[in-house]
Structure 1
Amino acid sequence: MKSVIIRPGPLNGKVKIPPSKSLSHRAVIAAGLSNGECCIDNISMSEDIIATCDIMEKLGVNIKQLPNSLNVCGKGKLRLAHDKTVSNELQCNESGSTLRFLIPISMLTGEKIIFNGKSKLVQRTLKPYYDIFDKQNIKYTTSNGNLPLIVEGSLKPGIFEIRGDVSSQFITGLIYSLPLLDGDSTVKISTKMESIGYIDLTLDVLSKFGVKIQNNNYREFKIKGNQHYNKRNYRVEGDFSQAAFYLAAGVLGGEVECMDLNMESLQGDRVIVDIIKEMGGSITIKDGILKASKSDLKGTIIDASQCPDLVPIVAVLAALSEGTTEIINAGRVRIKESDRLKAMATELNKIGAEVIEREDSLLIHGKPCFNGGVVSSWNDHRIAMAMAIASIRCTQKLIIEDSGAVKKSYPSFYEDFKSLGGKVNERTMG
């Protein structure tokens, strides 16, 4: 098991933020569903993106990796490759986006397909799809509701009712696949829609690839059938969910400039700029570069319903702010790569923070610094990165166990951390 030892100290300098993982998934899939060659520029081959690419290739898409880009050649129709080297098992590893996006998309083949995963992904809920399969009499089997999932059959156009407060990934998977069916469909949202920003990303990518979806105020989506994905080139913009870590580093101690971010982005996690400013953090924008500078932060109330991926780093900021912070409407983060409410409460308290875990929230009483010590990543990339940023304000060294979890979304995280002056040593624990 890999671990890192980080000695406390401020971070300073410029960092190029990696491309958005959310947009990378969406662009690769849209390109693969088109007929022709598309160049997806500015892409990082994190473990999650590799999982999506591997499955799209199994579904008949040709993908060639180039430095910082992919050539994706779709054939307009997916077909499961059948030869001695390719099985009908699609391995999603630990990527929830890969699994939930590609279940309905793979069903466009009409063939028997096995979906599998690793670690906590095996247990993450797929019930919204099971409900649809039951309604449409689609044959499927699971392991007591968990992976592996064996599904055989095709979705039929019609009316799809789905909750909006479990995961927007189910909705994205449906509205990627339904336009290709021979008939019109409607996706009706039966609860309040959370993570609207991710739906906006989906609709924007679909529009750029020529697919039209009628959005009726996020309550329902009208989808014409017999549409086609148009081939096009696409550049992936920088990821605000990853920029959040280095913006936090800047306001906690130092001055960090984050490059390659789209200030007009539809990414929901762009709200990290507003959250930090509301807490008293200094963030300025000049020539498209976000600069975060050391600031005295104050506690506040943060609603995480539309930005669940920000919870780990926001918890670190809150624990180092004057006064009390509540992170509310965060229950969904319990079913991410780890139980992120429990993970952040546990690991921050280990190093001297005062965090109270509630059913769907965190109550955090801020302190000026942490002690340091040994913490776990919970095999969760965002926990590992959040705790690395916490080291800035530790009084002693911080050891992060299972630190390699960052490869899931940000393989170069520790290299970028070092480039800003971070003192990181890696070691392998027997």
Structure 2
Amino acid sequence: MKIEVLNTKLEGKVKIPPSKSMAHRGIICASLSSGVSVIDNIDYSDDINATIDAMVSLGAVIDKNEDKLTITGAFHKDAKRSAARTIDCNESGSTLRFLVPISLLFDGMTKFIGRGNLGKRPLDTYYNIFKAQGIKYNAVDNKLNLMVKGRIKAGEFVIPGNISSQFITGLLFTLPLLEGDSKIIISTELESKGYIDLTLACMKDFGIDIENRDYREFIIKGGQSYNSRNYRVEGDYSQGAFYLSANALGSKVELLDLREDSLQGDKEVIDILERMGAKFEFKDSITIKENCKLKSTLIDASQCPDIIPVISLVAALSKGRTEIINAGRLRIKECDRLKAVATELKKLGAKIIEKEEGLIIDGVEGLEGGIEVWSWKDHRIAMTLAIAATRCKKPIIIKDYDCVAKSYPSFFEDYKMLGGKVNECSMGE
């Protein structure tokens, strides 16, 4: 599917979708309880639907009602589970890595399948645990077709800090429900600490206590249980980053439903854009204070990888040279995001040098457009290109734009509501 996006500044109010990160966590915590919870402010993106279906396959009962879920936990006295189950993760890395250890709380075989680049995302951290604990598994290289059977045991888990925090979150969810006490030891400096903060905060809301020793050790008492409760999902800074960046580039969007005191690591987008010259104001919403004269900065991607595509666009239109470092993990997301950003923004007239672990970006005055670009079937690339159109001299055509359904299904509806001009294109060549 293709869409033509014209050069138009965005203006107006937009409700930012609920945090995908917090929705995953809230659904999982509620589903691991023995009671009934209500999770409010849900956006049924492909990733969230994958986690909902996964928890149902493990025995939770989940009823959807508009933007609200009623969840009867998998440990409810009337819960029913099958001896074998298949979890379709679609393209959701969070669903996969969170659910692998959780599945080992239950008897029987669990098969994990998915599509896109999900099979290329490494799972060696879990394979090493399986081997050490005698858990049976069968995996296929470069394709997600993983089968696991066995029960995970409490103990000491040594995990490198420079891998995805999703592995650590998966273990954090699981270990408190075991009989014995456990410890997670982080053997190198931990990246993406913000995501671990979100996990610990959500688990605490559901009654689970974990001792965090400066992100180097996590001390986990066994024999705990998740309490059912009512829970509202806050707005998502990784989605808000697109409109915040549009504002830095000349639009005037008022962003609703983002918490000023949020623990989300992607809230760093505010700090980065303000270092580059933007000025934002928090009241009941977030607004841009004034037109910005943007300048370059050094950006460390280690704690906020998801906002790097759109921040790269802002850097491409800022005075001077911006360097993005510690971004190697972007190569194993839904696509190779470093290569995708460099390739597509250069088509539009940006000056970008791609490095193994990051990007070097020399700012230009404006972008040309008048060309077809490709989303690489990656939601964050598609949305970045739509924001790029607000600074292109000519319209652009985005191929495979419908991949936004992965995290923000209503993105282009909101874009049009804010004054963006888009036209769906015929696929005929």
Q: Compared with structure 1, are the counterparts of its residues 411 and 69 closer, same or farther at alpha carbon in structure 2 (3 Å cutoff)?
A: same
Q: Tell me the residue number matched to 2:311.
A: 314
Q: Tell me the residue number matched to 2:378.
A: 380
Partner AA of 2:110 in structure 1: I
How many pairs align? 426
Correspondence 1:307-386 to 2 at 5 A: 307-372=304-369, 373-386=371-384
Q: Tell me the residue number matched to 1:274.
A: 271
Q: Tell me the residue number matched to 2:414.
A: 416
Partner AA of 1:404 in structure 2: D
Q: What is the CA-CA distance between 1:291 and the residue it aligns to?
A: 3.5
Measure, in 2, the Cα distance between the counterparts of 1:428 and 1:265. 42
Residue 302 of structure 1 pairs with residue 295 of structure 2: no
Partner AA of 2:9 in structure 1: P
Q: What is the CA-CA distance between 1:419 and the residue it aligns to?
A: 0.8
Partner AA of 1:396 in structure 2: K
Partner AA of 2:42 in structure 1: I
Measure, in 2, the Cα distance between the counterparts of 1:103 and 1:293. 47
Deviations 1:314-345 (A, max 9, x none): 00000011111011111111111111111100
Q: Tell me the residue number matched to 2:15.
A: 16
8 Å CA contact 1:327–1:362 kept in 2: the answer is yes
Partner AA of 1:15 in structure 2: V
8 Å CA contact 2:255–2:285 kept in 1: the answer is no
Q: What is the CA-CA distance between 1:371 and the residue it aligns to?
A: 1.0
Q: Tell me the residue number matched to 2:284.
A: 287
Q: Compared with structure 1, are the counterparts of its residues 91 and 31 closer, same or farther at alpha carbon in structure 2 (3 Å cutoff)?
A: same
8 Å CA contact 1:251–1:293 kept in 2: the answer is no
8 Å CA contact 2:5–2:396 kept in 1: the answer is yes
Measure, in 1, the Cα distance between the counterparts of 2:393 and 2:41. 38
Partner AA of 1:195 in structure 2: S
Aligned with 2:227: secondary structure? coil
Correspondence 1:197-216 to 2 at 5 A: 197-216=194-213
8 Å CA contact 1:42–1:237 kept in 2: the answer is yes
Correspondence 1:31-110 to 2 at 5 A: 31-76=30-75, 81-82=81-82, 88-110=85-107
Q: Compared with structure 1, are the counterparts of its residues 171 and 387 closer, same or farther at alpha carbon in structure 2 (3 Å cutoff)?
A: same
Measure, in 1, the Cα distance between the counterparts of 2:290 and 2:88. 42
Q: What is the CA-CA distance between 1:190 and the residue it aligns to?
A: 1.1
Aligned with 1:71: secondary structure? strand
- In the superposition, the TM-score normalised over structure 1's length comes to 0.97
Q: What is the CA-CA distance between 1:81 and the residue it aligns to?
A: 3.3
Identity %: 54
8 Å CA contact 1:255–1:292 kept in 2: the answer is no
Structure 2 unpaired stretches of 5+? none
Q: What is the CA-CA distance between 1:349 and the residue it aligns to?
A: 0.6
Measure, in 2, the Cα distance between the counterparts of 1:106 and 1:75. 11
Measure, in 2, the Cα distance between the counterparts of 1:335 and 1:208. 31
- In the superposition, the TM-score normalised over structure 2's length comes to 0.97
Q: Which runs of 4+ in 1 moved over 4 A?
A: 77-80
Aligned with 1:425: secondary structure? strand
Measure, in 2, the Cα distance between the counterparts of 1:8 and 1:316. 15
Measure, in 1, the Cα distance between the counterparts of 2:239 and 2:101. 28
Q: What is the CA-CA distance between 1:144 and the residue it aligns to?
A: 2.7
Structure 1 stretch displaced more, 205-214 or 142-151: 142-151
Deviations 1:196-223 (A, max 9, x none): 0000000000000000101110001010
Q: What is the CA-CA distance between 1:298 and the residue it aligns to?
A: 0.6
Measure, in 1, the Cα distance between the counterparts of 2:208 and 2:235. 24
8 Å CA contact 1:100–1:173 kept in 2: the answer is yes
8 Å CA contact 1:251–1:292 kept in 2: the answer is no
Residue 254 of structure 1 pairs with residue 263 of structure 2: no
Q: What is the CA-CA distance between 1:77 and the residue it aligns to?
A: 6.2
Residue 231 of structure 1 pairs with residue 223 of structure 2: no
Residue 391 of structure 1 pairs with residue 389 of structure 2: yes
Structure 1 unpaired stretches of 5+? none
Partner AA of 1:417 in structure 2: Y
Deviations 1:121-144 (A, max 9, x none): 011111100111111111111113
Q: Tell me the residue number matched to 2:156.
A: 159
8 Å CA contact 1:256–1:292 kept in 2: the answer is no
